[in-house]
């Protein structure tokens, strides 16, 4: 079976035995999928609240949040379609990002305080680090993250000046592509699996080159089947809300 929305860019296969019961329930009532282009400066939850008001639906799930400074694709599931989130949340995501070289921050991004500075690394060192940070890797989440240890969020502990030592997590980085190298700034396109922190990739790139680095911009351009070109802006939602995309299930041999 395949789970898809109308006008998909690519189909993702889901085992029929896992999907059938949920798909039948969702088909029986109102549900839908909405693609939103989140601007910088607001949280993903702010977008959910706006969509809740516009569409009059309280039950809204998403396929991965974005940090407030980040922009790009949010995939929202409304109504009973939220029951299908677990079947598509593991699809790879693609980001376009700018990495600032020579400076590390306590948040691993541009919103944090500078904690270390170094000379910018040579391109050869960058290429070696990228190779090391591709594939199945072990990644320590950022100190300022939503990871929970003994009931405490990592970012709450970090804000109190008592950062938690977070355990490494196994994540999958499918591909890095360098789009531009401006010496102190590196524009990259990264495809990675769910649970990967692009901020941490930037931090580790700096450390592995013997330098320092942080993420200065981040934009999600693809999530699974869905592309940023299909997404509505907040102005679109306020001016003329698009109809929800209907999820459908079709047969597959896989």
Do 179 and 94 contact (CB within 8 A), yes or no? Answer: no
CATH number of the domain encompassing residue 8: 3.30.70
Quick one: what percent of the chain has pLDDT higher than 70?
A: 83
Total tally of structural domains belonging to the chain: 2
| Alpha carbon distances (Å) from 211 to 79, 87, 106 | 47, 40, 15
Predicted local confidence at residue 5, as pLDDT:
55
Q: Do 154 and 39 belong together in one domain? A: no
For the entire predicted model, the pTM comes to 0.84
pLDDT in tens, 159-214: 777 777 788 999 999 999 999 999 999 999 999 999 999 999 999 999 999 999 99
Q: Do 107 and 209 belong together in one domain? A: yes
Choose the catalytic residue: 37, 67, 108, 204: 67
Mean pLDDT of the chain: 84
Q: Do 7 and 108 belong together in one domain? A: no
Predicted local confidence at residue 189, as pLDDT:
99
Predicted local confidence at residue 252, as pLDDT:
43
CATH number of the domain encompassing residue 199: 3.30.2350.10
Domain that holds residue 128: 93-222
Pick from 32-41, 91-100, 151-160, 202-211: least confident: 151-160
Q: Do 80 and 100 belong together in one domain? A: no
pLDDT in tens, 137-174: 999 999 877 777 767 777 777 777 777 778 899 999 99
Q: Do 211 and 230 belong together in one domain? A: no
Predicted local confidence at residue 12, as pLDDT:
36
* Tokens linked to 214: 């942080």
Please say if 106 is a catalytic residue: no
Q: Do 84 and 14 belong together in one domain? A: yes
* Tokens linked to 146: 């939503």
Q: Which helix (H) or strand (E) holds 92?
A: none
Question: For residues 84-96, b (16+ Cβ closer than 10 Å) or e, as one string?
Answer: beebbbebbbbbb
Q: Do 108 and 215 belong together in one domain? A: yes
Distance CA(254)–CA(12), nearest Å, equals 10
């Amino acid at each position: 079976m395949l789970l898809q929305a109308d006008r998909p860019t690519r189909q993702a296969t889901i085992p029929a035995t896992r999907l059938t019961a949920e798909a039948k329930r969702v088909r029986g009532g109102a549900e839908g999928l909405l693609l939103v282009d989140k601007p910088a400066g607001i949280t993903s939850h702010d977008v959910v609240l706006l969509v809740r008001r516009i569409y009059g639906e309280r039950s809204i799930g998403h396929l991965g949040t974005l940090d407030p400074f980040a922009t790009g694709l949010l995939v929202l599931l409304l109504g009973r379609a939220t029951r299908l989130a677990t079947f598509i949340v593991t699809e790879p995501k693609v980001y376009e990002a700018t990495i600032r070289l020579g400076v590390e921050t306590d948040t691993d991004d541009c919103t944090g305080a500078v904690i270390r500075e170094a000379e910018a690394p040579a391109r050869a060192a960058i290429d070696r680090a990228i190779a090391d940070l591709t594939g199945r890797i072990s990644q320590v989440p950022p100190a300022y993250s939503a990871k929970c240890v003994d009931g405490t969020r990592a970012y709450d502990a970090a804000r109190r000046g008592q950062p938690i030592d977070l355990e490494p997590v196994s994540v999958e980085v499918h591909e890095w592509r360098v789009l531009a190298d401006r010496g102190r700034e590196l524009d990259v396109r990264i495809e990675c699996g769910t649970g990967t922190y692009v901020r941490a990739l930037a931090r580790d790139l700096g450390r592995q080159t013997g330098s320092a680095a942080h993420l200065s911009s981040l934009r999600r351009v693809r999530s699974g089947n869905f592309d940023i070109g299909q997404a509505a802006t907040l102005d679109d939602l306020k001016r003329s809300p698009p109809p929800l995309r209907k999820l459908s299930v079709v047969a597959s041999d896989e």
